[in-house]
Each structure stands twice: as C-alpha cells, then as structure tokens.
Amino acid sequence: MNTVTNSALAARDLRHVWHPCTQMKDHERLPPIAVRRAQGVWIEDFDGRRYLDAISSWWVNLFGHAHPGINAAVSAQLQQFEHVMLAGFTHEPAIALAEELARIAPPGLTRCFYADNGSSAIEVALKMSFHFWQNRGRRRKRRFVTLSNSYHGETLGALAVGNVELYKHTYAPLLMDVLTVPSPDCYERESGESWADCSRRRFALMEAALERHADDVAAVIVEPLVQCAGGMRMYDPIYLSLLRSACNRFGVHLIADEVAVGFGRTGTMFACEQAGISPDFLCLSKGLTGGYLPLSAVLTGDDVYGAFYDEYQAQRAFLHSHSYTGNALACAAARATLGIFAGAPVLEDNRRLAAHLAERLAPLAAHPHVAEVRQTGLIAAVEFVRDRSTREPWPWQERRGLIVHRHALERGVLLRPLGNVVYFMPPYVITPAEIDLMVQVAAEGIERACA
C-alpha cells in the first residue's frame, strides 16, 4: 500500500510550489505541513497530527473548516452552474448576496461591486473614489491619506496606501505617493491615558492633515478599530466618529477596510458600527465566504453610484473588472455564511467567548517580558518584548516569534506571530476548553522565546 506522509508531500511541494509570504529557505529546517483534512477548528496532517487553527487560516475562516451548511450550499450551486461572467449576465447568488449585504451593512451602502480578494477590493475603492472626483470635475483630488502601520494588501495600489515597512520597503520606488498620518495606535498611549483620549489626541494630526490637503485628497483609508497585519494594534471607536465628521466637513471620502475585521470579529457585525458611522466605501473579503472561496465586495452609496451613471458617450463608467467577478460558487458560500449569522446568536456567543479569552489571557499581562495584552472582540494579542519597563523590543533578527510558532506546532496549535506579537483570531466555533489550550500553549511558547 502506498502511504502518503508529510515528508513525501513536502519534498514534492518544494520542487515546484513557491509559498506566499515565505522565505523559502526556511523550509529547509521547517518543511510545510501537508493537510489531509480539516474539520471545525482542527487541521489534520498526513502523519496523523492535529493543529488547532487559532488564526482562522489567515483570518478567513469564521465557522470552522468543512462546515456542513456551507458545504451543502456550495454543492447545491455546483449542480446548477459554477461561474458565468457578471457583465451582461447576472445570477441569483450574486443578486441575493448584494441584497443581504446592503441589508446588514451600515446605512446608505446600497451598491455592491464584486472583486475577488481583499487587495482587489482596495484597488476598486481607490479607483472609484478618485474616479468619482474626476467625474465631478474635481480633478485635483487624487491623493490618499493613510495611517502609519496600516495594511491594505499586496497589489501595488493597496501596498502604496499601506504602511508596514516589511512588505512595502522593497517596492517603494513603484508606489504612488500618499499622505501618511500617525495612527491612533493605543499601544503608544501615554501613561494614565485612556484609549479614547489617546485616539482623540492622535486625531488632531489627522484633522490638521485634512485641513491642509483637502483640495488634493480623494479619500482617507483606515482599518476600523484594529490594524491587523501591523501587529494587531488597536484604537478607540471615537477616532472613527471624529474621522467621519471631518471627512464630511472637508469633502473627502472615507474608505473603511473591513477585510479583516468585518463579520463579527470585533464584537459587532462591522467594526464601523461601534462608532455609529457609515463609510463611503466599505471593503469586505476574508470572512465573507466563511473562508471557502476568494471573493470580495466594495459597498458604496447612491451618491457615488450616481456620479458614474450616464450615457456611455459621457465616458463616466467604471470600466473595472476581474475575470471571476461575482463567482457563483463564492457567492453561494457567502450567502450560506451570512445565513449562519441570521439563524444563530453568533455575536452574543462571540461576546461570551471573548470574555473567556480575556479572562484566560489576563495573567499574561504581568509576565516580565509582556508589554501589553490587548483585545477587541475575538482578536487578542500579546506583545512580548525584551524589557517590559522600557518596552524595548527583541531585535527582529532573532525571530523569537518563530520560536513560539514552532513550539505551538509541537503542541498541536497553529499560531503565527507577527514579529513579537502573538495573536489569537480563532474561528467562532472554538470552545472554551480549546481557548484554554490555545492560551496555555502560547504562554509556554512565550516563555521559551524569552528564555
């Protein structure tokens, strides 16, 4: 009998597959793990080992792997058809999903433009905002304002409005010029300062930038409440309320990138809800299909839509497309995912899980090498440092996060720290006992990494 093993698959893999966000030489020492199957929060490999997916497979999986309801919805769609181009044609999955998104999104976001991943959603929003102002005769409005430490994806436009040096630095000569404003990151708050006060203080810098540059600025782009790829840095909703009113005052669009934080992650369906605001563009992806298939959506309002609506000869149309726009299988997965929210008290359950996670993480806050434990909904992070009193970080070259990663794999948990930030972003179907395991293993890993 032919038994497939991890190492056999890893050897084949390394002959041809180039992995994302990876220095391939690292695989000489830590080969990729071959997945045989996955169910709920557990991933199983070919050597019979299991891993708790504590990071939802890069933040996409909401309700666990191989979810029966989503499986059934994708299968049912597969019996009808798999994909038909969305220009000139339409189909129920795309229509019903747009209806549902418009229903649950913050008020006024009535129009849904599909793309196929988070980065392309960002490209769509940037192009639409710029193009809106062109169509309205405001030709100078062509710059974007972004926050320091923000992340919006890897394509050149998305990379340009992002600010994580690790990903951006090499490509800087290729990127459009943007205005970068210090983020409201509450890790940087002064002693005794509340999150709200810190966010409010930082907002003054945003307001000054907008006041100065409004005539040249098309939009401000932010990740509401949590800068995820930037190390799960968090801020207070007050920043978003202040930003919304300033954007109104200065005539600048607000793009909310909820690619990572949308769909219940932060405690509300969308993070913007916590500030009671509607952005001009809402970018959604990752959890949209429950982690099944690549799909993204950019929601906007009738005002933006109207600026493009004209006779063809007026040359105002938004002529952007991707081959797989509105893919029917992906839309079916997304509808099934949203159906789970409609049929169960997901947000309430998440609040209980978040409270349990907070309780389990609390003791880590006193660890001699932990500078901060922070949490927003079902995103939690532990920032470990060399010196707690000065917050001096471990040198990045030492790659101590990798020690945590490797320790966790040995113990059957998938953690993938961002530098020296160990974070948790589990599927919503995780149990309290599994949370205990995840936190226990992370604490052991931090202990080892700081030894």
Q: Please report, as ranges, the residues that interact with ligand PLP according to CB under 6 A.
A: 117-119, 122, 151-153, 223, 228-229, 257, 259-260, 285
Report, in Å, the least distance between residue 262 CB and ligand PLP. 9
Contact criterion met (CB below 8 Å) for 374 and 411: no
Of 119 and 199, the one with the shorter C-beta distance to ligand PLP is: 119
Residue listed under structure tokens 């995780």: 430
Q: How far is the CB of 223 from ligand PLP (least distance, A)?
A: 5
Q: Are strands 226-227 and 379-384 parallel, antiparallel or unpaired?
A: unpaired
How many other β-carbons are positioned within 10 Å of the β-carbon of residue 439?
Answer: 24
Shortest reach from residue 59's CB to ligand PLP, in Å: 6
- Cβ neighbourhood burial of 292 (10 Å; 0-12, 13-18, 19+): buried
DSSP code of residue 73: H
Supply the minimum distance, in Å, between the C-beta of residue 426 and ligand PLP.
16
Closest contact distance (angstroms) between CB of 118 and ligand PLP is 2
Q: The sheet that has 253-257: what strands, in order across it? A: 111-115, 296-300, 281-284, 253-257, 217-222, 143-147, 179-181
Question: Quick one: 46 or 59, whose CB is closer to ligand PLP?
Answer: 59
Only one residue has tokens 């999955």, namely 93
Nearer CB in complex with ligand PLP: 117/375: 117
- The pair of three-digit structure tokens given for residue 257, joined into one six-digit string: 């990138």
**Residue number, 223 or 383, with CB nearest to ligand PLP:** 223
Determine the residue with CB nearest ligand PLP.
Answer: 118
Per-residue DSSP letter, 208: H
What count of other Cβ atoms lies within 10 Å of the Cβ of residue 364?
19
Look up tokens 């000065």; give the residue.
Answer: 390
**How many other CB atoms are there within 10 angstroms of residue 400's CB atom?**
26
For residue 163, which of 237, 171, 297 has the smallest C-alpha distance? 171
Nearer to ligand PLP by Cβ, of 386 and 416: the residue is: 416
Least spacing, CB of residue 155 vs ligand PLP, in Å: 7
Which lies closer to ligand PLP via its Cβ, residue 119 or residue 376?
Answer: 119
Q: Give the closest residue to 333 by CA, choosing from 15, 89, 65, 129.
A: 65
In this complex, which beta carbon is closest to ligand PLP, that of residue 221 or of residue 373?
A: 221
Half-sphere exposure of 66 (CA within 13 A, CB side): 9
Residue 366 CB, nearest approach to ligand PLP (Å)? 30
If the CB atoms of residues 156 and 204 are measured against ligand PLP, the closer one turns out to be 156
283 versus 446: smaller Cβ distance to ligand PLP = 283
C-alpha to C-alpha distance for 296 and 306, rounded to whole angstroms: 22
Minimum separation from the CB atom of position 186 to ligand PLP (A): 18
Q: What single-letter DSSP state applies at residue 269? A: S
Neighbours of 398 (CB within 10 A): 13
**Residue 417 beta carbon to ligand PLP: minimum distance, rounded to whole angstroms:** 16
DSSP 32: P
Nearest 5°: the CA angle 401, 265, 95 is: 130
Distances (CA, A) of 43 to 265, 391, 410: 21, 35, 14
Which amino acid does the sequence have at 165? Answer: E
- Smallest distance, ligand PLP to C-beta of residue 20, A: 9
Q: Indicate the residue among 126 and 443 with the shorter CB distance to ligand PLP.
A: 126
- CB nearer to ligand PLP: give 259 or 373: 259
Whole-number Å distance between alpha carbons of 446 and 317: 53
Question: What is the smallest separation between the CB atom of 231 and ligand PLP, expressed in angstroms?
Answer: 12
